[in-house]
Amino acid sequence: MVAALICVAMAAGCASSSSPSSSSSPAPASSASSSSPAAAGGTTAPAPPATSQSPAGGGPLACATSDLKVTLGAPNGYAGGVYETIVFTNTSGAACSLYGYPGVSLVSAPPYMQIGLAAKRSGTVPVKLIVLTSGTSAYALLQVVDALNFGTASCSPTKAAFLRVYPPNQTVPVYLPDTSEICAQPVQTLFISAVQPGTGNPS
């Protein structure tokens, strides 16, 4: 009788010791819950659509630097400085557009180190979309204030070698010979207008 009771007790102990292993079975539930944050984290916002860099919805794309011939018109001096006309001519076979301001600075000979401050945007003319068909031009007016108007110590007048021009909304520049004198110190001597239709030179 005692032996039978010991056997029954041992059987109950075996049953109770096996229960923890069966209680660990809810592991799949925890792995499912941990996978849901990963799924949420894997959802990325769509890439922004490519833009034409033109404010007009159906207008032609912005003129790439490779589409343009960039030249300097005849300078027009005034007491205290000079105006230079930067002309952009569409040499591609398709229409393109210019909008806003070119990026302009004076630089040294290669490797084209910038001298002083880049041109500051001038609000003398309104910003508007310019559509250039093949062979037509637009221009921006650059004002170069004479560096000699400022003290040598505060200006450090330095002669440039080239004018570096980025067409509006482009990242590839054009280099045009230009030996204007500019302040190497941070004194604002360059001012650039928005692009306008035409060449800027009535003659």
Tokens of 29: 């539930």
- SS3 of 81-148: the string is EEEEEEEEEECCCCCEEEECCCEEEEECCCCCCECCCCCEECCCCCCCEEEECCCCEEEEEEEEECHH
C-alpha dihedral sign at 161, 190, 164, 108:
positive
Written as six digits, the tokens of 95 are 């229409």
Q: What SS3 class is residue 166?
A: strand
Burial class (CB in 10 A: 0-12, 13-18, 19+), 76: middle
Cα–Cα distance measured from residue 192 to residue 123, given in angstroms and rounded to the nearest whole number: 9
Kindly give the confidence (pLDDT) of every residue in the chain, 203 residues in length, as a single tens digit, with 9 standing for 90 and above.
Answer: 334 434 434 444 434 444 444 344 434 333 333 333 333 333 333 333 333 344 545 679 999 999 999 999 989 999 999 999 999 999 999 999 999 999 999 999 999 999 999 999 999 999 999 999 999 999 999 999 999 999 999 999 999 999 999 999 999 999 999 999 999 999 999 999 999 999 997 54
All structural domains of the chain with their residue ranges? 65-197
CB contact at 8 A, 100 and 91: no
Q: How much is the pLDDT for 55? A: 54
Would you state the pLDDT for residue 59? Answer: 78
The CATH architecture one would assign to domain 65-197 is Sandwich (2.60)
Task: State residue 58's pLDDT score.
Answer: 63
pLDDT value, residue 201: 72
